Structures are given as C-alpha cells and as structure tokens.
Chain A
Amino acid sequence: MKTLDAIEKRLLVEVADLHKVPEGAYNIRLNSASAGRRSTENIEITPKTDVSGLEIRIKPGTKHENVHIPVVMTESGLKETVYNDFYIGEGADVLIVAGCGIDNCGNQDSQHDGIHRFYVGRGAKVKYVEKHYGSGEGAGKRILNPVTEVYQDEDSAVTMEMVQIKGVDDTERVTKAVLKAGAKLVVKERLMTHGKQNAISTYTVELDGDGASADVVSRAVARDDSYQKFDAKIVGNAACYGHTECDSIIMDNGKILAVPGLEANSVDASLVHEAAIGKIAGEQITKLMTLGLTEAEAEEQIISGFLK
C-alpha cells in the first residue's frame, strides 16, 4: 500500500470513514492509479483491461463482508471516467463503500465520472454507501458525474445511501434500477449545495416483477446561489409498490426543481409520490432560540438534523 499524505488521508476519512487500511477487500484509487488493492477468498477485485475500472466479483453466499473502493484526487486538472462492475452472487450479504473526494487547489477543473453497475443475484443483500466531497481553494472546479445502474434479480434487496454535503461544484447524477419479482430497493439521498454549485439527480426505477418495491427518498438543501434538480421516475410494470419523496429546504437565493414522475403500466401497480420545498419554518428557529441557540446556530442544527 502506497503511503498517503495528509490531504489524501483526510479525503479518505471524509468519503469512506477510513482511518487506516480497511479490513476485507479494497481498492484505493489515487490520482488515476491504484494506491493499494486486496482481494479476499470470497471477493475478487481485478482491474479491467479494455477501460479504466474494476471488476468486483462476490461469491454466492458470502456473508457480512465489506468492499471499500474509495477514489481520491488531489492533482488539479485530472479528468477520468471509471467503470466499476459488481457481480454479487446469490444469497450474499455485503457492504460496499464507494465515494470520491477531490481536493483541487489548482486552476484547472478536476473531474471524476464513476460508472457503477451492480448485478445483484437472487436473494442477495447489498448495502451501498457513496459519499462525495470536495475541498481546495483553487479556481478549478470539482466535478463528479456518477452513473449507477442496478440490476436486481428476484428477492434481492439493495439499500443505497448517497451523500454529497460539501464542496462539489458540479454534479450530474444518474441512477437507474431494474427490479425483478420480490426485489426491494431503498435509496436515501442527502444533498447540500452552496455557493454557485449545480446538482442534478435523475432516477429511473423499473419495477418489472410482482412484489417488487422501491422507496427513493431525497432530502436536499440548496443554499447561496446554488441550483438543484431532482427528477425521480418510478415505472410500475407489475403488481409492485413504489414510493418517491423529495423533501427540500431552500435558503438565500437557492433554487430547486423537483420533477416527480410515476408511470403505471399494470393495474396492480401502486405508486406514490411526495414532494415538498420550502424555507426553514420560522417557529423551528424560534424554538431552538428559546433553548439558548443563536439564530445562525439554530439554522445549522435544523439543517444538520434534516440531512442526517
């Protein structure tokens, strides 16, 4: 494992809560090269030969194992597209931690486009955690455009936590999922934009089998002059259940566009959408002020709770 400097270590903590080399299988990508990799008996990580990226194969029945594949970029001006494919065997139960941290102190844009595809076997359970974070004072932008595709076999369950709280200037996130009978998908997205940032998040979830269900919930905060678009579409093609929710706080001159979409192609599909956008309720701030917080502290508490 390559020795990391202080900035690289800080980014790893931000995106993957990693304070040391993780247990289990991992690949740490640093400035477009692997800084360390380990496969285990049940989880094999191999580099792709045709394009940049990895193949991660998890054996059927693998239980309670972790895969960490964080990405760290500290060189200004780097632009990369990375293809990571995950093959999760039948009945496996694993935690996958991805995430990308960019520190850009230079004047050129840094960009990481991660394309993640998940092929989830019958009855497998996956928890996927992805955090995006940017830092650095340079004029160069920090850009992340993740694409996530999930193909779930029967009775599989996937929980995704996608978090982008700070420092990413431009992001266009595309998530697509296709679920067979009895499969379950839960997505929890947390997004905060500030400054002049732009974030677009698009979901398309297709529920193809009876008993499939999806719950896509986004909580977002747009501050300063930032802009967000949340576009979530659930398509019900069978006797399925889909729910999407977008709950947003706008502050300053922030702007948010929520575009709910439900498409039912089966009379037995049950689809629900909820969306709410508004500023912080004045009475919430007043209440916390009566508990001794200043107005600014109250606002921070409300936002950090909301994005928890």
Chain B
Amino acid sequence: MLELKNVSFGVDDGGQKKEIIKDVSFSIPDDKLVVVTGPNGGGKSTLARLIAGIEKPTKGKILMNGEDITDKSITERAKMGIGFAFQQPVRFKGLDVLDLLRIAAGKNLSVGDACEYLSSVGLCARDYIGREVNASLSGGELKRIEIATVLARGCAVSVFDEPEAGIDLWSFQNLIEVFRQLREKIKDSSIMIISHQERILEIADEIVVLKGGVVDRHGPRDEVLPFLIGTSSAINACSVLTEKGGDGK
C-alpha cells in the first residue's frame, strides 16, 4: 500500500513560487487499481514523479507499507517495488528490447520469459526482442515496451503516466485489454494509472480527481465516474475522433 500524506510540491517560476501539488493526501491500497484523472495542468504527472522519487515533495510524506520513503532515492524506491511507466518513453541508442527487459527484471531473463512480457502487451516477441529501443520504433510500440518493462519488474506498486498519450486508437483498444488483465492479476500489489480515458476509468476500483493541484474528488468508481462523464476528465476515445477540431479537452 502506498500513502501520500499532506504532500505539497512547488517550483520556482521566474522568481515566483508556484505550487503544483497542494496538500494532497490519499492512498493506493493493496489489490486496488486507482485511476487519477483531472484537467491538464492539474498536477497528475507531477504526482507520479513524486511517487517514483524523480521529484521530492516540498512538504508532506510518502509511505510504502507504513515505511516513510520520502527521502529515498529513485533507485531505492525501485528496489522496494515501485514501478513507473513514463508518459513519454525514453529512447536508447544501442540498448535493445531484451537488454531493457533484463535490466527491468534484475536478472538474466531467458528469451522465453522476455517474450511472455512482450506478448502480454500485444507485441509479437520474435519481431521485437532484438530491436533497438530507438527512434525506429513507433510511439505505440515504445509505449507497450515501456509497460512491459514495468511488468517484468513484478512491482508492488505500479504507476502508469497516461499510457494512452501519443498512441493511435487501434493500439489504445489493445492497451485497455492489457490493463484489464493487469487488474485481474493484481493480487498483493496495487496499480495507479493516470488517465483521462473513460474506458480506463471504467476498470478502476477508485478514482481520484486532481484539479489545480488539489484532490477535487476521491471515491469508488461508481460514485465518482457519473460526475466525470462528458467532461475532459473522462474522454470517450471515439468522440475525440468524431468531434471536429476536438483535442480531447
């Protein structure tokens, strides 16, 4: 279980202090999938980076299974079982997909095991295992490989930052299936997904709405979702395509 207690985070914006996260408290319980949604610029990605340790809170505490991890480094948190899938996956010249999966697994993963992780994110393993994780891969392919690295870690807490960002509708349909399966195998772990997508919100156990850096709403899916339908916090993928000029906001 991961707990955020009165977490705040601010940056220096041209001499002025700007608070991006303001006194946020909620927890991601074991065996639960929590989706964090809300308008753009509401602080969602910052929250994910605070959990992974990439940013440090200016106030408040982050606890994992009761242990204070606020001052722990990215590496220490990763070793404790926190996984983080970047919104924009990083490219590496020279490292191939198998290298990355092996680093993620922390052991000399067999090709067969690596293939299983790739298959579970809908990639034909044979075509990808030896591919360099560079600009030759499409946004959707990179995104799936990014998710596969988090799967290969077998995390206690997995955080996915807008898995739908930058991928096409076809890939998105498949991604929903990946997360549905993740939810089924959640046992003894917890998942946090940052997303605006209605179909991801539909598989959540709990929904947190972050607006202007504060928790606007938090509760079980069935309680929160009705407030979100038709707003920018719960986009229907097809309506984005049909609304002329719609940018999904």
Q: Which residues of A contact B (CB under 8 A)?
A: 219, 247, 281, 283-284, 286-295, 301-302, 304-308
Contacts and interface: CB of A to CB of B under 8 A. Distances in A.
A235 B99 CA distance: 38
B75 A284 contact: no
A273 to B, nearest CB: 18
Nearest to B94: A305
Contacts of B92: 284, 302, 305
Given A286-B54, A301-B103, A305-B99, A291 B153 contact: yes
Interface in B141-175: 149, 153
Given A302-B92, A302-B95, A305-B92, 9 more contacts: A286-B74, A289-B74, A290-B52, A290-B54, A290-B82, A291-B149, A295-B75, A305-B96, A308-B94
B203 interface: no
A125 B54 CA distance: 51
Contacts of B100: 291
Interface of B: 52, 54, 73-75, 78-79, 82-84, 86, 89-90, 92-96, 99-100, 103-104, 106, 149, 153
A306 B153 CA distance: 23
B90 A284 contact: yes
8 contacts: A288-B103, A289-B73, A290-B52, A290-B74, A291-B103, A291-B106, A305-B99, A306-B94
B94 A292 contact: no
B95 A301 contact: yes
Contacts of B106: 291-292
A306 B99 CA distance: 12
Task: Label chain B's interface by main secondary structure.
Answer: mixed
A292 B52 contact: no
A292 B90 contact: no
A308 B93 CA distance: 10
Give the one of B54, B75, B82, B99 with max A CB within 10 A: B75
A301 B90 CA distance: 14
A293 B102 CA distance: 12
A290 B83 contact: yes
Contacts of A284: 90, 92
B75 A294 contact: yes
Given A283-B90, A286-B74, A291 B104 contact: yes
B99 A292 contact: no
B84 A290 contact: yes
A247 B93 contact: yes
Contacts of A295: 75
A305 B95 contact: yes
Nearest to B74: A289
A291 B78 contact: yes
A287 B99 contact: no
Contacts of B153: 291-292
A293 B103 contact: yes
A130 B106 CA distance: 33
Contacts of B73: 289
B85 to A, nearest CB: 9
Contacts of A286: 54, 74, 90
Contacts of B93: 219, 247, 305-306
Contacts of B149: 291
Give the one of B83, B95, B153 with max A CB within 10 A: B95
A289 B94 contact: no
Nearest to B104: A291
Give the one of A247, A292, A293, A302 with max B CB within 10 A: A292
A305 B132 CA distance: 10
